[in-house]
Structure 1
Amino acid sequence: MIMPRGESRQLYAWLPVIILVLVLVTLAVGGVALHYVEHYLIAATGDSLALAAADIADKLDTILFERYADTQVLAHSPVFRTRDVAAMTRHLNLNKEVYGYYLWLGVTDAKGRIVAATDPTSVGRDRSRSGWFRAVREQGGIYVEDAEPSEYGGGAFAVTFTAPIKGSRGEFLGTVSTRVRMTELEQVFERTVRAFQAQRGPAGRIEWQFMNRDGDLIVDSFLRQEGMVNLKVMGLPSALFVGTTQPGYVEETHLRRHVPVVTGYAQTEQRG
């Protein structure tokens, strides 16, 4: 069968349009596929980062709860119900040596004066107006203070645990107060991040940060801006989501490099 020349010309005239449409359809399908792949990769990465953040938070919870329990046990030590300052100091130093997490340990009397400590220069100081002393004296239980710059150790960030020392009749005799250094807790971050990075390979650099409940940066893996930046005040979405939702991830703009990044986030839980 022979096609009439007029119809043949008409078909050839449509060919560029058909080819253009096919190309457009191919590009559209390719664009949808690329968008799907991109969305899948972001979701997979985000889920992995959220799990890593939750794992780190859980490990930190475990360590901090152990220090909480240690402080409680320490407060029940018979030596702190005596007036043997030398024995108290030896006991405090022993605990500091056994547990590398501690920056400082000290004992106050019922009036808030430090009578024994791992740092001799702090002995004799009046801490009756300190929040941790007043909280324990007035409420009677163990007091945990969020990570803040400590007066011991050159202003290094530390978590404060304080427990009451009570006599045989339950009377208040003073307090045992400890400071857990944040630099030791960084190892928890580093081990988890190294394992995560090994799974993902060299593609993509991982940065991590730890902030307190107010948003103050207390551990920073890259710029070491501890105490100089408040992530909530700066409006970082991941910082604002922490504490309001379960562990998750968010696409946001890197505050320093101004490039899109995926951030996993999770919150520690105060136990005890």
Structure 2
Amino acid sequence: MRFRKTGAAVAAALALAVSATACGSDSGSDDTITIGIKFDQPGLGLKTPDGAYEGFDVDVATYVAKELGYEAGDIEWKQSPSPERENLLSRGDVDMIAATYSITDERKEKVSFAGPYLIAHQDLLIRSDETAITDASDLNDKNLCSVGGSTSAQNVKNELAPDAELQEFDTYSKCLDGLSKGTVDALTTDDAILAGYAAQDNYEGQFKLAGLSLSDENYGIGLKKGDTEMQEKVNAALEKMIEDGSWKEAVDKHFGPAGYDPGEAPEITEKS
């Protein structure tokens, strides 16, 4: 009888240990949140040489995460190049993406969005001495650069300048290098992104924005398709950020030095 009791006790202890381990594993996965951002976009999403992360998207994502119950130290930042954003969400590699992610009908077939939290406009970054590019049609005999998978690249191909020689890279930094060396005539993407590049100290005086509003780009936070519960929570966090003044503070902090004014905070429209 004593042997049976001991065996039962051991079995019970093992069961409790397994249960505790399982519970610990589940709670551990809830202790952190993985957020996709860009690593190479000054003013929006930038990984600095010392390993820190900064920019408007970073501040928005940090605020949202805090409203979801995560402190800044609980966030794991993951690089999210434009062509990979849908894949990162569908595979579950990230919990959300705040990476200059324009809300489009095509993308909404694959992911869900919260927001928008910023409205940008497609523009051109050109060299400071460039005088021949004053309209989108001027690009048809030019070498143009953008990032593959971006709405800017699609707009150029399909509407703005279908005869332009378009080079597509995986990051805007490579386009900027081509513009600096003269191998491309213009870099096209959203004005918020371009303003950040133009304001960098190492490029001071080299580039300017063409000042063309070629499209409206509504930046949203990308979520796994159909996750309406998370969508509602993120929308509530964005609304609070706007109402308590934190949104405007982030705008002034990251866009003010570049002289870029994105206007008023947009209305949250992406709701289930």
> Per the shorter chain, which TM-score range?
under 0.3
Q: Highest CA radius of gyration, 1 or 2?
A: 1
TM-score (norm 1): 0.27
